[in-house]
A = this chain, B = another copy of it.
């Protein structure tokens, strides 16, 4: 049995011990013959694998009453695995969700780090810098690299901390955000935890 969280850029698998990724552009889901419990925010792939009998969509088992219809299912599974925290899932997008005493209060969506970096670069070659994760967050920027780093990282940091909840980082870029969210817990299996809990409960 495998778990798989399908995003906009990767299939993210978990075999119970190890997690690994496959690029959506070149991975063929028919390669896998064992049972795969999956969720997918990628509508195209979800459609493509709907004909494969060994790929089982867990999203149909979720009680949607706490959530909104167009909400990414990966966020829902991360929330289901959380009782009291602000979840920052840093992938192609950075989704932020607030769960207080077991109740989902809402969230927001910020572009992912790579997307933000590309956005600056596309606005002007003068803004083509890597982010400085060692940025002094309490000091306004006085050079271009810090100016875009502050614009991206400080604003996110302030908002997330304003909820006064434990911060849980997940997703491929959690390791970068950990540099600015120093007190946060990194949990790269959070979504898989939510998937496994639902399987244990309902299947």
Interfacial chain B residues near A8, Cβ < 8 Å: 123-124
Residues of B within 8 A of A109 (CB): 120, 127, 141, 144, 147-148, 150-151
A155-B110 contact in complex given A71-B144, A140-B98, C-beta closer than 8 Å: yes
Output the nearest chain B residue to A155 by Cβ-Cβ distance: B155
Closest to A97 in B: B140
A29 within 8 A of B: no
Q: Tell me which residues from 5 to 51 in chain A have a Cβ below 8 Å from any Cβ of chain B.
A: 8, 41, 43
A106 and B140: CB pair below 8 A? yes
Select from chain B the residue with minimum beta-carbon distance to A156: B155
Number of copies: 2
The answer to whether the Cβ of A53 comes within 8 Å of any Cβ in the partner chain is no
Answer yes or no: A183 CB below 8 A from chain B CBs. Answer: no
- Interface pair B140/A107, CB less than 8 Å apart: yes
A108: contacting residue among B105, B126, B141, CB under 8 A: B141
Q: A43-B125, A109-B148 are in contact. List 13 more A-B contacts (CB 8 A).
A: A43-B126, A70-B143, A92-B124, A105-B140, A106-B141, A107-B140, A108-B141, A109-B141, A111-B123, A115-B119, A115-B123, A116-B119, A155-B156
